[in-house]
Structure 1
Amino acid sequence: MQIITGVVLPRQHIDRARSTLSRMTMGVSAWLWGQHTRFVLWLPALLAAGMAMYFTLSWEPSAAWAWGAGMMVVGCVAARLVWGHGLLVRLGCGVVGACAAGALLAWVQAHRMPPFPDLPRRAVHLSGRVLDADGRALRDGAWAWRVRLADVRFLDGINTGMPPLRRALVLSLLPDDACVPVSGDTVLARVMLSPPAFPALPGGHDVQRRAWFDGRAGTARALDRVTCGHGHPPSARIASMRQALAQRIRAALPGTRGDIAATVLVGADGAIPARVRDAFADAGLAHLLAVAGLHLAIVMGLVMAAVRMGLTLSERAALFWPCRQIAAVCALLAGGGYVLVTGAHLPALRSLFMAMLAVVALVAGRRVVSMRALAVAVVILLCLDAENVAELSLQMSAAAVMALIAGFDALRPGLSAWEHDMAWWRRLGARCAHPLLASILAGSACIPVGMAHFGTVQPWFVLANLLAVPLMSVWIMPWGLLSFVLMLPGWEKLALVPMGWGIAVVDWLARQVSWLPGAHIGVPAIGNGGLALFFAGLCWLCLWGGRVRLLGFAPVALALLSPWWAARPGVMVSPDARMVGVTVGHTILTGPGAHPDPFVLREWQRVTGLDAGTLPDNGRQGVLSCQDRTCRVREPDGDVVVVLSPRQPGWVSCRDARLVVNLSGQAGCPGVPLIGRFDIWRNGAYALLPDHAGGVMVRTDRQARGARPWVMRPGGAGVPDLPMAEAE
């Protein structure tokens, strides 16, 4: 019996395991077949995943790789058409084909952009055509114009007579310049040029990649007053009209109220002082100062309501005309005009495109706000510009809208029951719950995105938005739209003054909330991997049906905790070798000098979530000790020596050193690895991180980004703007 039992029992266990596995497989298959109508909703997520994988590579795929990806897409489509009845074929072809298509789209768009030009390193005269212009309020309260130039020609030296640049150039004018540029003008200026900046930290924000896809060559700073030659294209009339409207608005509403009103009505977003922007950002109200989806939705909603109410005043129109569809089309036209008046910025254009899809759905009798409409909009936006996958505006919009749709779909039965309940307090509670839930859902979905891009959390955003957004919808924007009508007879002040009252309330609310304890909490930024994990969890939560969707909370929680698990850089070196940062406790100590580069320091603080300080000239602080412009950072395997002066480090400084960082030259310690000025010039920013063995791991920007089309050569060198030889 024992022998028989010993033989039979294992077979029973095997059969039982096979049966359990079969039941699990059948259960998963049945669940997936029940969700098959939602498979298409994953298309934008998979496209974005393919694009993100392309951008995270440290090497540039060849044309053969792109050809292979294209064949993979064709093969997946063919397999889906021929053997599309099988579940594995559907899932496999969908996932592989969509990811390959996303990577291929990103590769094609990256390689059709013109190369970065080699900008002169000296003061140079240039001429260019103004594409657009906007005024900026500087930190000291001064006002300066910033213009984007096309067809730029350099008028000095070897560049004389060369073809114009194939990329645009962003020119900042002097604060006291009398020139008022508008679109279509020709500008002559003497400037200093700068290529797109290198990342301040390995793996940090990539300005060069954004400039590559935006078609920008770099930035220019005017050294003297510029000369403007006014043109007369149609776009110039629109720009002149925007500037005239902004002046009339500020004349009726002086001060901060006029600046905010000009921002939301004509898109003069650079006019708002920095202190006001900071207060709105700390209160979680920064989206009120950026003309995008919220403002467009308010404008279109107001116009649609007004047109529909006007049509219902006619009995014939109310009975026989499609009033709802007519009002929706009128609202779309009004939204297009609003986007045009506010400067047609990219976030507003994206919102207008999504609004157009909503109007088409309404006219066709389909559901206006749905996951399918959002999926179509995101797919088209990603196909138009693959770099959108890394852009803040699209990430926040997609996360907020997805959370709103899925959240209200899940809560609709309970809200509907309360709305039709006999008790008045339940009906009132259901009405009040809508704006509160909208603020919680959209704001919560945007928290991880804000952590990734800004390294901050605003915990009071629900309170601020709960009061400010309704005020913007029912008071500020209606008076603003009425002011456009009253500008024809010159009576705009009748509408702008009440609008200013509402703006004053929102401004006061932003300042009060920003002063609350913990209104602005600096946290380590979520990395690219953590952000991808968050969006994977959010998509799982919002795109599936049933209780299985709750599993998406796990990756979302892991993404929120990921910044505290990642290793924090101990020493950071800027890409221009002019600045070093040492992490001591909860502070980044920077040097040399007491005035660090604000852009580099802001990026370091964003990534680490730490406060800023200054390296001591002499003394000790935690693991750091400095003497005679040489600092030592104690490590378990040996000290890191940071040399801030051009002289050779002494033998005392070299004792127990395992690595030397010299910002001023190539002098180091005998037999000790050196990171010198030439190394920094060649490899970009450096970060020294602790490894698992207790030592120091060196990471460079060149290692993190590799050789990509948008990664400029050392020193920011590009392709010379000269006629090429036939071999070149």
Structure 2
Amino acid sequence: MAHADAEREPVNGSACERTAFTFDPADPHADHDPNKDPRLIPTASRSWRRRWSHLSVRQALDEERGHGALFLWASAFFATGAALWRILPSDPPFVATLGLTIAVGLAAALTASRLRNVLAALCMILAGLASAAAEADRRSITVLDSPVVTTISGRVLSREIDEEGRWRYLVEVKSTHDPTLRRPPERVRLLARSDHPDIEIGASIIGLARLAPPSGPAMPGTFDFAFNSYFAGIGAFGFFYGPPGIMPGDQVEEGYADRIARWTTELRETIAFRIKEVIPGDAGAVAAAMTVSDRRAISEETNEAFRITGLAHILSISGLHMSLAAALMFTGLRLGFALVPGVAQTWPVKKFAALGAIGTSTFYLLISGAVISAQRAWIMVVVMLVAILLDRAALTMRNVAIAAFLILLITPSAVTSPGFQMSFAATAALIAAYGGWAARNRNKTPDFTTSKPSFVWRWTLLILGLAVTSLIAGAATGIFSAHHFHRMSSYGMIANVVAMPVISVIVMPFGTLALLTMPLGLDAIFLMIMGLGLEAVIAIGHHVAAYGDGFATGKIPGAVTALLSLALLILVFTRTWLRSTALIPVLAAALIMAADLRADPPLLLIAEDARLAAILREDGLATNRARPSSFIFDQWATATRLATHIPPAVVLDEQTELPAEETTTEPVLPDAEIDPAIAYGTMRRAVLELEDGQMEGVFRCRRGAFCIARLGNGTIVAWLEEPAYVGPACDMTDIAIIPIPLSMRQCRSGAKLFTARTLRETGAIAVYAASTGEGFAANEARAAGTGSGAQFDPQPTFRFEQSAGRMRAWTRHRYYDWRTGSFTEPGGDASSVNTHMSEDRRAADSIDQ
């Protein structure tokens, strides 16, 4: 009976009998009929609403707004504007950009609709653009337009010594002569190779030097050294011929700011010398890098080992260094005040300790050279210490946003630098990861019945924590490491797990104590202990590097990096289900990357000085030099994932030829002028020799004349050493390259001519095979092959991509004509130029051997 009653449903039961209701306690007299009182919501319906509310975009956005996400995204939009400024075709006027920013900001403030958030985001993007334009106007330095040898005199602003004992001087130029430059750069960095007396900071220096403008990207889409040099205020690089001299009695009137800068530079140098005096070898060089950012003395082997193993981050002064210095001062002052009970109970000693820590952090920032990572760490530490002064809690992710905003407000150009990107990516990712872990643990009920973990378990947790930290930081920075350096570490986590305890427990604490006790002369013992720790870290780096040098990612498209950066921002800034939307830009980046991997690589690369060219093959890079410039070749190798060098074959005479693997000699220039008829005959024979189909994709060089090669699509390339061969190359090849600034800018035959002058404007060139309909036929006369029976592309076509070609602040020097003293507008885009065969070329190619 009871069971039957329990199973019986009420036939005419009311809604209240079927469903529980939620009543409004503020109105007890309300009608409880759910059909009449909308304030009464059924519990079942409310549960469904709760489920759907988790998928409500508006509610998720409101929740993110409550967590302060708007402030975080404001800094991200500001950074986006600063980054967009770099890719614009020309420099936007600062006043116009600022006016547009103010107008959009006023519109956002006066708008009450949902459009307000969109206008606010647009305002922050425009503010980033305006800030970048202001920095460019504020810098406005002179960049050397072309290489020159001149006598230079100036004042030494700073100096560094490398691992070979050579001095590098940063010189403020006062004058040049023999010849006198019309546009001398304000500051140059010069290497002194010869032994010479010490030239102190602030002294006047003079010497014969070779100057050259900062180099642009080694190939389109790679790292631009000229951009960084421009915003670092350096207009030229070079070296002294022989030892530089000192100009006695030539004192320069220094202002207050100059005296502070010189004092800081001298202090950094003194600290570096003291560290290297106590700690010999690479350990001392690494200690100097971690203390005052002096990296020049680190050997190439240790640098390479740190790069391969992912330990290079310890060389940059970052949050670890800055926080330990501030923590030691903060803790020491509080303990000192605690020894005097009257002071500790009467005065706010915690705030006094915070002020002392701020002073220590500021001093450390000055002696570190104020690099981007040190600026970011200093701002974050100061924000947290100021929060202590104001009796408020500091929000760590907000600290990251504040630090990024302040740095970009002063130096917007830093937004595209690898130091800024990797530093903030690692910090934000770690804060988000450990913040989520801490929030999860806060929601757990503490269990007081469990015993304390054992010593072994605590060390196990420490090692796991280091591994997770390395994994998170490596994943966050891997995006930008692949974009800028085209390489990722395979064993970075192993090296960091083993080395970081040594750095955290031995190296950094004793290094900080050495700095604090250095004025008292008590630093030697602390430096020696620090050196022992660094020797262990270096040994770890070399040992792990022996496992392998990671893997080359090749050149990463900019769109992929931008999309992955957006995904990272979504992951670290959001807390609701909106975090899952990071999958959208990740999938888009994967599709773009897959399409890029399927695309054909370049056929040919040409350096911006025209001295080096490389043919891309499946087994490596075939160049026109037996010993190519490592600076250019190494960048090409990592960007193309082709590390093997294939030297040219050198034809000594008409019968003797050295194969590529036996090449040991560079082609040399002849002493006598070359008869035009002989030049035409030599070029014709070289072109006909390519028709046999042998040694395709390898340069064949004739000493003192030229190198010639045939690309995979039948295009013939000639690299010339003598101007006498320009005419024959224009008539008989498709692409002619000569490292001489000829007045001739193009071939009348239609072949493409690259000279030192044209490449100065366009920068490095990448040659691609063009699809049908994209280009014009380059070898119409050889459509069906030649007498040797070799088969060629019926209509081989090609297109170009160039590194420069835009009149921007850091490329403007490329378009200066010293003859007229004026600037010329950039020429046509090289990618739009296609080649045709001349009648002479067709005639030469139709000859049967």
Q: Considering the TM-score relative to the shorter chain, is it more than 0.5?
A: yes
Structure 1 counterpart of 2:62: 33
2:429 pairs with 1:400: no
Q: 1:207 aligns with which of 222, 225, 229?
A: 225
Structure 1 counterpart of 2:844: none
In the alignment, the residues of structure 2 paired with residue 434 and residue 367 of structure 1 have an alpha-carbon distance, to the nearest angstrom, of 25
Q: Is the 8 A contact 1:643 1:649 kept in 2?
A: no
Stretch deviating more after TM superposition (460-469 or 662-671)? 662-671
Give the letter for the 1:663 counterpart.
I
Offset of 1:551 from its aligned partner?
2.3
Structure 2 counterpart of 1:8: none
Offset of 1:525 from its aligned partner?
2.9
Structure 1 counterpart of 2:245: 227
2:111 pairs with 1:83: yes
Stretch deviating more after TM superposition (42-51 or 295-304)? 295-304
Q: Is the 8 A contact 1:114 1:167 kept in 2?
A: no
In the alignment, the residues of structure 1 paired with residue 306 and residue 753 of structure 2 have an alpha-carbon distance, to the nearest angstrom, of 42
Q: 1:296 aligns with which of 313, 318, 322?
A: 322
Calculate percent identity across the aligned residue pairs. 23
In the alignment, the residues of structure 2 paired with residue 688 and residue 538 of structure 1 have an alpha-carbon distance, to the nearest angstrom, of 34
Q: Is the 8 A contact 1:585 1:622 kept in 2?
A: no
Q: Taking structure 1 as reference, are residues 282 and 175 closer, same or farther at Cα in structure 2, changes over 3 Å only?
A: farther
2:812 pairs with 1:712: yes
2:732 pairs with 1:701: no
Q: Taking structure 1 as reference, are residues 157 and 709 closer, same or farther at Cα in structure 2, changes over 3 Å only?
A: same
Q: CA RMSD in A?
A: 3.5
In the alignment, the residues of structure 1 paired with residue 588 and residue 619 of structure 2 have an alpha-carbon distance, to the nearest angstrom, of 23
Q: Taking structure 1 as reference, are residues 494 and 603 closer, same or farther at Cα in structure 2, changes over 3 Å only?
A: same
Q: Is the 8 A contact 1:448 1:526 kept in 2?
A: no
Structure 1 counterpart of 2:101: 73
Q: Which digits, 9 at most, give the CA deviation of each residue in 1:472-500, with x for residues without a partner?
A: 22211222233345545544332222222
Q: Secondary structure of 1:127's match?
A: strand
Q: Secondary structure of 1:270's match?
A: coil
Structure 1 counterpart of 2:571: 541
Offset of 1:248 from its aligned partner?
3.3
2:168 pairs with 1:168: no
Q: 2:621 aligns with which of 588, 607, 612?
A: 588
Structure 2 counterpart of 1:218: 236
Q: Taking structure 1 as reference, are residues 481 and 708 closer, same or farther at Cα in structure 2, changes over 3 Å only?
A: closer
Indicate the structure whose relative CO is greater, using CA pairs within 8 Å and at least 6 residues apart: 1
In the alignment, the residues of structure 2 paired with residue 652 and residue 375 of structure 1 have an alpha-carbon distance, to the nearest angstrom, of 57
Alignment of 1:656-675 (within 5 A): 659-663=734-738, 673-675=751-753
Q: Is the 8 A contact 1:590 1:612 kept in 2?
A: no
Q: Which digits, 9 at most, give the CA deviation of each residue in 1:587-634, with x for residues without a partner?
A: 22222x212122222322332232140343157898625445311112
In the alignment, the residues of structure 2 paired with residue 245 and residue 686 of structure 1 have an alpha-carbon distance, to the nearest angstrom, of 44
In the alignment, the residues of structure 1 paired with residue 816 and residue 747 of structure 2 have an alpha-carbon distance, to the nearest angstrom, of 30
In the alignment, the residues of structure 2 paired with residue 664 and residue 157 of structure 1 have an alpha-carbon distance, to the nearest angstrom, of 23
In the alignment, the residues of structure 2 paired with residue 206 and residue 93 of structure 1 have an alpha-carbon distance, to the nearest angstrom, of 33
Structure 2 counterpart of 1:683: 762
Q: Is the 8 A contact 2:143 2:234 kept in 1?
A: no
Offset of 1:582 from its aligned partner?
1.2
Alignment of 1:149-548 (within 5 A): 149-158=171-180, 167-182=186-201, 184-228=202-246, 233=259, 235-415=261-441, 420-421=446-447, 422=450, 424-425=452-453, 428=458, 433-488=464-519, 490-517=521-548, 519-548=549-578
Q: Secondary structure of 2:556's match?
A: coil
Offset of 1:418 from its aligned partner?
8.4
Q: Secondary structure of 2:235's match?
A: strand
Structure 2 counterpart of 1:7: none
Q: Is the 8 A contact 1:118 1:718 kept in 2?
A: no
Offset of 1:652 from its aligned partner?
12
Q: Secondary structure of 2:296's match?
A: helix
Q: Based on CA coordinates, which of the two structures has the bigger radius of gyration?
A: 2
In the alignment, the residues of structure 2 paired with residue 290 and residue 596 of structure 1 have an alpha-carbon distance, to the nearest angstrom, of 31
Give the letter for the 1:708 counterpart.
R
Q: Which digits, 9 at most, give the CA deviation of each residue in 1:258-309, with x for residues without a partner?
A: 2222332344321111111111111111111223333222222232233333
Offset of 1:667 from its aligned partner?
11
In the alignment, the residues of structure 2 paired with residue 101 and residue 116 of structure 1 have an alpha-carbon distance, to the nearest angstrom, of 26
Q: Is the 8 A contact 2:718 2:729 kept in 1?
A: no
Structure 2 counterpart of 1:18: none
In the alignment, the residues of structure 2 paired with residue 26 and residue 74 of structure 1 have an alpha-carbon distance, to the nearest angstrom, of 36
Offset of 1:216 from its aligned partner?
1.8
In the alignment, the residues of structure 2 paired with residue 660 and residue 339 of structure 1 have an alpha-carbon distance, to the nearest angstrom, of 52
Q: Is the 8 A contact 2:131 2:412 kept in 1?
A: yes
2:581 pairs with 1:551: yes
In the alignment, the residues of structure 1 paired with residue 265 and residue 175 of structure 2 have an alpha-carbon distance, to the nearest angstrom, of 23
Q: Is the 8 A contact 2:623 2:699 kept in 1?
A: no
In the alignment, the residues of structure 2 paired with residue 550 and residue 89 of structure 1 have an alpha-carbon distance, to the nearest angstrom, of 24
Q: Is the 8 A contact 2:64 2:576 kept in 1?
A: no
Q: Is the 8 A contact 1:124 1:192 kept in 2?
A: yes
Q: Taking structure 1 as reference, are residues 181 and 511 closer, same or farther at Cα in structure 2, changes over 3 Å only?
A: same
Alignment of 1:564-583 (within 5 A): 565-566=595-596, 567=599, 568-583=601-616
Q: Which digits, 9 at most, give the CA deviation of each residue in 1:297-327, with x for residues without a partner?
A: 2222232233333333443455454444333
Give the letter for the 1:147 counterpart.
Y
Q: Determine which structure has the larger helix proportion and give its number.
A: 1
Q: Secondary structure of 1:216's match?
A: coil
> Aligned residues, how many?
679
In the alignment, the residues of structure 2 paired with residue 571 and residue 697 of structure 1 have an alpha-carbon distance, to the nearest angstrom, of 11
TM-score (norm 2): 0.73
Q: Secondary structure of 1:41's match?
A: helix
Q: Secondary structure of 2:161's match?
A: strand
Q: Secondary structure of 2:435's match?
A: helix
In the alignment, the residues of structure 2 paired with residue 520 and residue 276 of structure 1 have an alpha-carbon distance, to the nearest angstrom, of 16
Q: Secondary structure of 1:583's match?
A: strand
In the alignment, the residues of structure 2 paired with residue 514 and residue 418 of structure 1 have an alpha-carbon distance, to the nearest angstrom, of 42
Q: Is the 8 A contact 1:526 1:560 kept in 2?
A: no
Stretch deviating more after TM superposition (323-332 or 711-720)? 711-720
- Give ranges in structure 2 of 5+ residues lacking alignment: 1-51, 650-658, 661-692, 702-706, 775-796, 823-849
In the alignment, the residues of structure 2 paired with residue 500 and residue 621 of structure 1 have an alpha-carbon distance, to the nearest angstrom, of 58
Q: Which digits, 9 at most, give the CA deviation of each residue in 1:136-188, with x for residues without a partner?
A: 22xxxx211112222532244545xx9x9673221222252332432x22222
Q: 1:630 aligns with which of 703, 708, 711?
A: 708
In the alignment, the residues of structure 2 paired with residue 371 and residue 240 of structure 1 have an alpha-carbon distance, to the nearest angstrom, of 36
In the alignment, the residues of structure 2 paired with residue 386 and residue 341 of structure 1 have an alpha-carbon distance, to the nearest angstrom, of 23
Structure 1 counterpart of 2:630: 598
